[in-house]
Structure 1
């Protein structure tokens, strides 16, 4: 029995037009991971759309209607989707799995969220492999006949995540120790920073607490100026105006838009988790690495 997983009610399967079980994920990044494990045995959809801000998302009536036909709901956990408990209760049927269960999270330091878990564990390719293991187990419980396929798909995807880890490590090694301060809008890069020896600074700890106070702004401007940070960044799901002001006031440049809580569409730079990570690290190296524009 999966920890945190309720067994589906009788008659709740065959939710899709072609008879495959329906899996709903809370956001698009998890949907991409789930599709890599599911292959063609399950239909996977994201509850939230591309570009949605997931921390404070408000499910619509059509979201709830879709959930009532789902066989499995997949969420991140660690306090990310504050709406998920209410959503799952309203859906009333199916199973649910939390991918971060069993993981020791990094804790947020300072500010109003001090001591609470940082929810962005998928931003570590190493931690993402834990997510894959949870997906394999949940899908095998949902569709036992597909267990061997799910295991094989999971192993293939974990190898790709392992290669991604090696590639990101090599790319970020180009950033000099004195320039390894990553400045973003949200504190969403703690796991990436932990894995690859970066520091981080941000305007707010999580997007649920995204109000920019004068104190936060002044503190970040002083940090960027004092550390001579050449570039600062922001995420695609929030307004970058405050970070643009930080760059202007501190004499840095805006280094580009990260993808964290949402993928891009297929024409964008981050249509999958693997491409999302490569895009973000490419921006980091361009903004902070040896070829960065000088101050």
Structure 2
């Protein structure tokens, strides 16, 4: 992690780049305000609310690891040209806060108002788990916060934002009900969800699963031997039928768990990033459905 002096120096350089590159950044639609989100999942949710009335872009690209992301001069240029920045909050995008405060661009924290689950272990114990969007119920709150922010930005289209939000929240309710119903069929002896990162606390709460993970929040360092050993012990003692890892991190530590216990590797789950349009999770709703299918297939040994 850079010290404060280093961060300030980097900001100064980047802001000079902004001043000298006024023509850079996303292709602007002169007819629509530009809304930037910090990652692709939020961009998809925002587009469902905005409809055709706002131009929505994600700062980070598909596949980016959101927690330890290193901003680029191009990111600064995008932020400087935006009319609104949408971030998750809950300490997810600490990297973004370092330079957003230097720009006179309004922003909204879309997790405001959700019922937060605190992290229970490691260095992050007591801090909020930032992955609140892994509950479709929470995303309904994200949507309400977007409606308010978008209406302030573009009052003429308030009715459209509200109508789009109601349509999308109905889809969120359907996906939530599908998730809960499908995972309820997993036998009680197989209801442990073991992942690389502790990103599934909200989904596990909704679905009545026991959550276990190697590390609480994705970070630059490798998993410690103690973390791996603790996960191996949990999987062995509870005869966990399958374990999983997220798409934006290496699964090497979880493969050690598989080798030591003889459990199955159940597959890749998506959390912090969507896939490309032709991939398995081009939208947030697809992400929840994909993860639900993958978890069920892994824990029950069925085909996904």
TM-score w.r.t. length of structure 2: 0.89
* Over 3 Å off, 4+ runs: none
Aligned match of 1:31 in 43, 49, 55?
Answer: 43
Superposition RMSD in Å: 1.5
Q: How many residues matched? A: 278
- Say if 1:127 and 1:209 are closer, same or farther in 2 by CA, change over 3 A: farther
1:90-140 Cα deviation digits (max 9, x unpaired):
4x1221000111223100112211110000000001111000000000000
Structure 1 distance, partners of 2:222, 2:128, is 20
Give structure 1 stretches of 5+ with no counterpart: 1-14
Q: Aligned partners of 2:251 and 2:296: how far apart in 1? A: 20
TM-score, normalized by length of structure 1? 0.91
Secondary structure of the corresponding residue to residue 257 of structure 1: strand
What corresponds to 1:60 in structure 2?
A: 72
CA-CA distance at 1:253 after TM superposition: 1.1
Superposition deviation, residue 17 in structure 1:
3.0
Q: Give the corresponding residue for 1:89.
A: 101
Aligned to 2:237: 226
Match of 2:275 among 253, 264, 272: 264
User: Once the two structures are superposed, what CA deviation does each residue of 1:34-75 show, in whole Å capped at 9, x if it has no partner?
Assistant: 000000000000000000001111110011011111000000
Give the number of the structure whose residues are more often helix, by fraction: 2
Q: Which runs of 5+ in 2 are unaligned?
A: 1-26
| 1:136 equivalent in alignment to 2:147 | yes
Alignment correspondent of 1:49 = 61
* Residue 205, structure 1, aligned to residue 209, structure 2: no
Deviation track 1:172-211 (CA, whole Å, cap 9, x = no partner) reads 0111111110000000000001111001111100103753
1:204/1:211 contact within 8 Å kept:
no
Aligned-partner SS, 1:50: coil
After the TM superposition, which residues 1-295 of structure 1 pair with which residues of structure 2 at under 5 Å, given as runs?
Answer: 16-90=28-102, 92-208=103-219, 211-289=222-300, 291=302
Question: In structure 2, what is the Cα distance between the partners aligned to 1:198 and 1:273?
Answer: 21
* Native 8 Å contact 1:204 1:210 kept in 2: no
